[in-house]
Amino acid sequence: MTPGVIGIEGVVEMERRK
């Protein structure tokens, strides 16, 4: 995994798992 994916997809997944 790259930091770019965690920066964008990571935030989107965290907001969708709220």
Contacts 24+ apart (CB under 8 A), 8-16: none
4-16 tens-digit pLDDT:
667 788 888 888 8
Start-to-end CA distance of the chain, whole Å, equals 22
* SS3 annotation, 1-18: CCHHHHHHHHHHHHHHCC
Distance (Å, rounded) from C-alpha 10 to C-alpha 4?
A: 9
Number of C-beta neighbours around residue 16 at 10 A: 7
pTM of the model: 0.11
Predicted confidence (pLDDT) at residue 2 exceeds the cutoff of 70: no
